[in-house]
Chain A
């Protein structure tokens, strides 16, 4: 059988009068209805739903990654040597040194402290 004989004059499926009535009635009905809310229209879009899900996953992953505590390697810290009283140090100077403010000593105080400390020994135990 020749192919052209098979296809000659064949027609595509046609719409029926019943379909016309149904479709146009639905269209006229839809025209009178208010549009659904923007959120619902967006949610009805499959691609947008996928994009939303992907964004949520990325954010959740980033949150987990960033909020994880950093790994800290603990190194032994050398114990600061304690300052001990020098043998035979002047007790007045020691008392003056103790009376110095903890921070921000003036230059004269710093010199006084240096004098005191020059007579100290470092206890490295």
Chain B
């Protein structure tokens, strides 16, 4: 985990291969499931859920800041998938495709939200299962992350927890690669300030 943390807190370096994460092993699972869905097998939705639901939910949660809204966004993704069963086109990058759907659904949910409507809950980072004594750290970190703008939070989520490259993040959220990297850098800088860590 130390390596992951060092990567999270370091400034991004463009062109450095260490910033381009290998594609997840779940990509092949997702490809097979989406192919099944394209053939009209609705049961493939279960496999898709198992492979990527947490990533989709996390992205939507960090974007919306509300568990109910995030669940609504994820549900929207799966409803669209279910309706397109049997006529789904071939998808080259299934994870990026589904994350893009989740991002757009989350943005739509936020737009539909009434101004001033209170959020039901906050984004919560979880303590590691093997170290439940760190619940206080998780709570503090979650509180700090909530002070970041949603656009920055989602980039941190995609980079740190989903392991996407900046190019992939840019594709998912619909911005240039440079903008994605810039948002990440600003988020980490702000996080350091909030934590009182000298740059």
Question: Which residue of the partner chain A has the closest CB to B122?
Answer: A13
B79 part of interface (Cβ distance < 8 Å): yes
Pair A23/B75 contact, Cβ less than 8 Å: yes
Complex interface residues of chain B between 102 and 122 (CB less than 8 A to chain A)? 111
Q: By the criterion of a CB under 8 Å from any partner CB, how many residues of chain A are at the interface?
A: 27
Q: Distance in Å from the Cβ of B197 to the closest Cβ of chain A?
A: 5
Give complex CA distance A99, B1 in Å.
Answer: 116
Pair A9/B131 contact, Cβ less than 8 Å: yes
Complex interface residues of chain A between 40 and 80 (CB less than 8 A to chain B)? 46
Complex interface residues of chain A between 57 and 116 (CB less than 8 A to chain B)? none
Question: Which residue of the partner chain A has the closest CB to B86?
Answer: A31
Pair B49/A23 contact, Cβ less than 8 Å: yes
Per-position contact with A for B35-46: 1 when CB-CB < 8 Å, else 0?
000000010011
Give complex CA distance A103, B7 in Å.
Answer: 99
Pair A9/B128 contact, Cβ less than 8 Å: yes
Interface size class of B (residues with CB under 8 A): 35 or more
Q: A14-B126, A26-B75, A28-B42 are in contact. Are A20 and B53 (CB under 8 A)?
A: yes
Q: Distance in Å from the Cβ of A29 to the closest Cβ of chain B?
A: 8
A3 part of interface (Cβ distance < 8 Å): yes
Chain A residues whose C-beta falls within 8 Å of the C-beta of B79 in the assembled complex: 26-27, 30
Chain A residues whose C-beta falls within 8 Å of the C-beta of B74 in the assembled complex: 15, 19, 23
Give complex CA distance A27, B81 in Å.
Answer: 8
Chain B residues whose C-beta falls within 8 Å of the C-beta of A23 in the assembled complex: 49, 53, 71, 74-75, 78
Give complex CA distance A22, B74 in Å.
Answer: 11
Chain B residues whose C-beta falls within 8 Å of the C-beta of A6 in the assembled complex: 137, 140-141, 195
A4 part of interface (Cβ distance < 8 Å): yes
Give complex CA distance A22, B57 in Å.
Answer: 14
Pair B127/A24 contact, Cβ less than 8 Å: no
Pair A7/B128 contact, Cβ less than 8 Å: no
Q: Distance in Å from the Cβ of A21 to the closest Cβ of chain B?
A: 10
Complex interface residues of chain B between 19 and 58 (CB less than 8 A to chain A)? 42, 45-46, 49, 53-54, 57-58
B138 part of interface (Cβ distance < 8 Å): yes
Question: Which residue of the partner chain A has the closest CB to B67?
Answer: A13
Pair B195/A28 contact, Cβ less than 8 Å: no
Interface residues of A (CB under 8 A from B): 1-15, 19-20, 22-24, 26-28, 30-31, 35, 46
Q: List 5 other contacts, CB 8 Å, given A12-B157, A19-B53.
A: A9-B1, A10-B137, A11-B161, A15-B53, A31-B83
A-B CB contact pairs (8 Å), 28 listed: A3-B192, A6-B195, A7-B5, A7-B8, A9-B1, A9-B134, A10-B126, A10-B138, A11-B125, A11-B129, A11-B161, A12-B58, A13-B58, A13-B124, A14-B57, A15-B53, A15-B54, A19-B53, A19-B57, A19-B71, A23-B53, A24-B46, A24-B78, A26-B79, A27-B42, A27-B78, A27-B79, A27-B81
